[in-house]
Structure 1
Amino acid sequence: GGKDPEPATGRRRDPKGTRDRLVRAALELFTTQGYHVSTTPEIAAKAGVAEGTIYRHFASKEQLLNEVYRAGVRVFTTIVRDTPAGLPCAERLERIATGWREVAARNPHAARLVFVSRVRSLLDPRSRDAAKELRDEVEKLIASGKAAGLVRPGAVEVWADIWLQIIGLMLERVANKEWTPDQAAPRLAVERAWAAIAAASALSEPSPMSPPTPPPEHPAPSG
């Protein structure tokens, strides 16, 4: 037997579900047609609610943007923090970029909002703090690579900027479906991002993304 149909009032009794739908609708509209062009009636219509419902959950369109932005940043920051600390810098950065790439393929709107959209002037202090936390995590990792002699001498902030710029371009192309995660292009972008900041000695070692060298066909007998 099938499930009983959901009562017509089910949506009204689920404020979290309504809020989630508003967040998803706003995220999509803000990143496809832009924040300023997107109106609250459009957001409400896309979420399937009355416009007044928005203001029961959010004080303003700007607050809605900030909630959506912080939720997106948290996803990317969590991936950085969950990367095993014991790995070499290049491998940790590669795992982070791969995790971010998977998010961009699965949730392109979140990737666009965090890495592509020009919303900085609209961010409130909490959102700016969230963005700074994400950047600080990346800088901390690159600083540890520099301390280990794996990252070029120079300002860590500059190397973080360069790495994030290249990875951001890759995420934008994946989010726009110009590149698919299984193509070579995203992997090459990640390799180029590392090559741009790596010390010369680190580049002479095999990349964690390179296939291992095959063993010789007839290995010499041991002993």
Structure 2
Amino acid sequence: MARWRPGSTGRLQQAAIELFTENGYDATTVADIAARAGVTERTFFRHYGDKREVLFAGQYVFESGFVEAIADAPAGTPVMGLASRALDAGCRALREARSQEQARARHAIVEHHDALREREQLKLAALSRAVAGAMTARGIADLTARLAGDVVVSVFSTAFARWIAPGAPADLIALQRETLAELTRLVGTNSG
């Protein structure tokens, strides 16, 4: 087996998703993943701490897309404009990281395992805090920033769920924008 084959990370992720889908998360071992990817277990552990990390790799790159979009926005951009920019950037980052089909498969694996679902929720909570932190760094009041962080995560999660549904359109950004527009309409509705 070659020691340093190019593309090990992508092959490990693909092998893990295939094996988790075929055999279940608990029944799949690191040795199984490494063998399917054509690398050694040692190579696996150079990239990931454990098999769970294969599913959550890139979390910080994904999160930084949201945060950088807020930080790089022109001065005076309103809060919802910052949220929209962050969502666009986050959706682009996700599309670059995995295909719609890979996202569906990963989601199915996570949804069928309690510990993975919990980890996913922690990831989304961290994203909300990061967005709120980026907003407060721009001088936005804490309450507004926290609400904006939660809105970004809610809109993203809803758009993502729509994107991975069977027969869904392939344009995640368009789905995210529709979701944000619907939320804006909902908030603007006079409930009096």
Q: Describe how 1:1-80 pairs up with structure 2 within 5 A.
A: 12-14=2-4, 17-27=7-17, 29-30=19-20, 35-36=25-26, 38-40=28-30, 43-49=33-39, 53-54=40-41, 57-58=44-45, 63-66=50-53, 68-69=55-56, 71-80=57-66
TM-score, structure 1 length as denominator?
Answer: 0.54
Relative to its length, the structure with more helix (as a share) is 2
Q: Larger Cα Rg: Structure 1 or Structure 2?
A: 1
Is 1:121 the counterpart of 2:115 in the alignment? yes
State the aligned residue count: 178
Measured against aligned partners, the alpha-carbon deviations of 1:9-28 in whole angstroms (never above 9, x if no partner) come to xx713167435422342256
Is 1:165 the counterpart of 2:163 in the alignment? no
Relative distance call for 1:164 and 1:81 in structure 2 (3 A) is closer
RMSD: 4.7
Measured after TM superposition, the shift of residue 63 of structure 1 is: 1.1
Measured after TM superposition, the shift of residue 79 of structure 1 is: 0.4
Task: Classify the secondary structure of the residue corresponding to 2:58.
Answer: helix
Measured against aligned partners, the alpha-carbon deviations of 1:19-52 in whole angstroms (never above 9, x if no partner) come to 5422342256557985335454653454134xxx
Query: Would the aligned equivalents of 1:25 and 1:46 in 2 still touch at CA under 8 Å?
Result: yes
Query: Would the aligned equivalents of 1:77 and 1:137 in 2 still touch at CA under 8 Å?
Result: yes
Measured against aligned partners, the alpha-carbon deviations of 1:68-112 in whole angstroms (never above 9, x if no partner) come to 41x231122110221115332212211221122234444144687
CA distance in 2, matches of 1:111, 1:193: 24
Determine what percentage of the aligned residue pairs are the same residue.
22
Measured against aligned partners, the alpha-carbon deviations of 1:149-201 in whole angstroms (never above 9, x if no partner) come to 9x5xxx936x64454233212123324561222785432102234556x6x6x
| Structure 1 runs not aligned, ≥5 long | 1-10, 204-223
| Structure 2 runs not aligned, ≥5 long | none
Letter of the aligned partner of 2:182 in structure 1?
R
